[in-house]
């Protein structure tokens, strides 16, 4: 993808449905006993992998006028798959489905692409085994593919996680839904709570406060309709583009404003970003808003342990804001970035340097010396097949003196199929 520098952007952007909520909506709908209509589902590569797997487990899912109807059949009526379940590049799919499949009465195998099969899986394998799950992976139970022989008699347990992770927590909760006895999860920092919110909406007996979650199994799950709000992690790219480009204004409507997902808005405001939140309401237990953004003069910031779990996906685009901010921005305690679709610390630092950003790699983060007058250099940069790195480089390229080529940009379809269309619309203004 070739991108040329531009002076400003103006307009309203349609942001596709939230990826995290889309995954959870179809998985939970499939184990209800009724039909669930899902509006504004995100048809990206990751979510389509989740749909494919549910189909192979015998769940009927229809697409009608762009929306989904999931014919829930309960976990006891899922069927043993006849082939390996391919998650592609989706970490959410492999981790949440592992929890669900551990409570079935059949065997299944989950595998993904090279990136997924190199990512750490011990963090889900170990707690599931402690609940009585029969789950094994290669390299001494640390990597996928995962072989799961379902156990319908899992036991609830109390967990104290060393690292806060919404995916690990969600995996445990999916298993806990069908376990004997309650399950409690304690985390050192607050992590995303989409699973808890949706379980509550579906009628589960669950309590949570960000760091602590308790689920009592046995309640029948039920829902009739779900609306998926716009993905705030996708909106982040155009919010930052607006802030760093002069004389710019954008409006994005119907965006999910989960308080744990919106930390990056708070960070951008602390940096001096002019961001207005309007029309606040609650849909399906999730806060939804409209977001206005304006050109801003940004200042540097230090980001540490407390906020990292809530902004882990937004750090690449926050680095773009830091490049255009006055002073030194420090991001620490973000070692989890090394275990994403790519080693995002190495990916960001190496490719931002190519475009002239003063950025240094640290073991658990990075240091960026920003410049309010920064202009990106021309040249070619590599995405490493990582959708968030590719999109962040694309926004950084809008600050270029000339043209920037982002290699392997097709990976953007993993999470934001409309991104390239929106970007082309911006560049043609």
Catalytic residue among 18, 231, 254, 313: 313
- Nearest one of 41, 39, 20, 44 to 391, comparing CA atoms: 44
Is 400 within 8 Å of 376 (Cβ atoms)? yes
At 205, is the secondary structure helix, strand, or coil? strand
Rounded CA gap, 54 and 67, in Å?
Answer: 17
* DSSP class of 44: S
- Nearest one of 390, 413, 19 to 192, comparing CA atoms: 19
**Parallel/antiparallel/unpaired status of strands 249-256 and 10-13:** parallel
Rounded CA gap, 227 and 254, in Å?
Answer: 10
2-16+229-427 is a CATH 3.40.630.40 domain: no
pLDDT score at 14: 87
- Nearest one of 85, 79, 92 to 27, comparing CA atoms: 92
pLDDT, tens only, 78-120: 999 999 999 999 999 999 999 999 999 999 999 999 999 999 9
Q: Two tokens at 288?
A: 């939804």
pLDDT score at 307: 84
Rounded CA gap, 387 and 428, in Å?
Answer: 23
Angle at Cα 234 formed by Cα 228 and Cα 239, nearest 5°? 120
Unique residue bearing structure tokens 């103006």 = 10
The structural architecture, per CATH, of the domain 19-227 is: Alpha-beta prism (3.65)
pLDDT score at 364: 95
pLDDT score at 252: 96
Rounded CA gap, 144 and 249, in Å?
Answer: 44
Is 414 within 8 Å of 46 (Cβ atoms)? yes
Is 336 within 8 Å of 364 (Cβ atoms)? no
Angle at Cα 397 formed by Cα 234 and Cα 19, nearest 5°? 15
pTM of the model: 0.91
Count of residues making up the chain: 429
Integer angstrom CA distances of residue 60 from 7, 74, 145, 199: 48, 12, 26, 21
Is 67 within 8 Å of 61 (Cβ atoms)? no
Is 299 within 8 Å of 330 (Cβ atoms)? no
Unique residue bearing structure tokens 């494919």 = 52
Q: Please state, as a whole number, how many other Cβ atoms lie within 10 Å of the Cβ of residue 304.
A: 13
Alpha helices in 119-206, H assignment, sequence order: 122-130, 138-141, 166-176, 194-201
Q: What is the end-to-end Cα distance of the chain in Å, rounded?
A: 18
pLDDT score at 310: 81
Is the previous residue joined to 145 through a cis bond, with omega within 30 degrees of 0?
yes
pLDDT score at 413: 87
Q: Where are the domains of the chain?
A: 2-16+229-427, 19-227
Over the chain (429 residues), the average pLDDT of each successive run of 10 is 93 92 98 96 95 98 94 96 96 97 98 94 97 96 97 97 93 97 95 95 95 95 95 95 96 94 93 98 97 98 88 95 98 93 95 98 97 96 96 97 94 89 82
User: Are domains 2-16+229-427 and 19-227 of this chain identical in fold?
Assistant: yes
pLDDT score at 306: 83
254 is catalytic: no
At 62, is the secondary structure helix, strand, or coil? strand
* DSSP class of 155: B
Unique residue bearing structure tokens 């902004």 = 311
* DSSP class of 14: P
- Nearest one of 217, 178, 225 to 198, comparing CA atoms: 225
pLDDT score at 262: 87
């Amino acid at each position: 993808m070739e991108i040329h520098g531009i002076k400003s952007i103006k307009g309203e952007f349609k942001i596709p449905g939230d990826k995290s909520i889309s995954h959870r909506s179809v998985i939970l709908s499939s184990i209800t006993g009724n039909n669930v209509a899902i509006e504004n589902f995100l048809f990206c590569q990751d979510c389509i992998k989740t749909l494919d797997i549910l189909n192979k487990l015998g769940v009927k899912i229809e697409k009608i006028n762009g929306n989904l109807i999931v014919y829930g059949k309960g976990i006891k009526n899922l069927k043993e798959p006849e082939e390996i379940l391919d998650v592609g590049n989706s970490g959410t799919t492999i981790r949440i489905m592992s929890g669900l499949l551990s409570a079935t009465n059949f065997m299944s195998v989950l595998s993904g692409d090279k990136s997924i099969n190199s990512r750490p899986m011990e963090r889900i394998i170990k707690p599931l085994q402690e609940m009585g799950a029969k789950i094994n992976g290669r390299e001494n139970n640390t990597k996928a593919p995962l072989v799961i022989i379902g156990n319908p008699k899992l036991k609830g347990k109390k967990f104290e996680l060393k690292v806060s992770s919404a995916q690990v927590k969600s995996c445990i909760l999916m298993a806990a839904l069908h376990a004997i006895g309650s399950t409690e999860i304690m985390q050192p920092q607050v992590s995303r709570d989409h699973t808890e919110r949706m379980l509550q909406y579906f009628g589960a007996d669950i309590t949570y406060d960000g760091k602590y979650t308790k689920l009592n199994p046995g309640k029948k799950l039920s829902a009739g309709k779900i609306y998926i709000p716009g993905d705030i992690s996708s909106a982040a790219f155009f919010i930052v583009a607006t802030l760093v480009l002069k004389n710019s204004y954008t409006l994005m409507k119907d965006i999910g404003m989960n308080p744990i997902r919106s930390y990056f808005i708070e960070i951008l405001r602390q940096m001096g970003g002019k961001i207005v939140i309007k029309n606040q309401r609650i849909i399906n237990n999730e806060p939804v808003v409209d977001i206005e953004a304006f050109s801003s003069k940004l200042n540097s910031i230090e980001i540490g342990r407390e906020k990292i779990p809530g902004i882990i996906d937004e750090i690449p685009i926050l680095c773009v804001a830091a490049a255009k901010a006055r002073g030194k921005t420090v991001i620490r305690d973000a070692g989890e970035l090394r275990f994403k679709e790519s080693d995002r610390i190495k990916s960001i630092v190496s490719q931002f340097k190519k475009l002239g950003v003063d950025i240094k790699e640290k073991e658990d983060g990075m240091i960026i010396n920003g410049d309010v007058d920064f202009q990106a250099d021309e040249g070619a940069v590599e995405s490493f097949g990582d959708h968030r790195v590719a999109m962040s480089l694309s926004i950084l390229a809008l600050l270029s003196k000339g043209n920037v080529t982002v290699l392997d940009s097709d990976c953007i379809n993993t999470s934001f199929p409309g991104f390239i269309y929106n970007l082309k619309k911006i560049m043609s203004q």
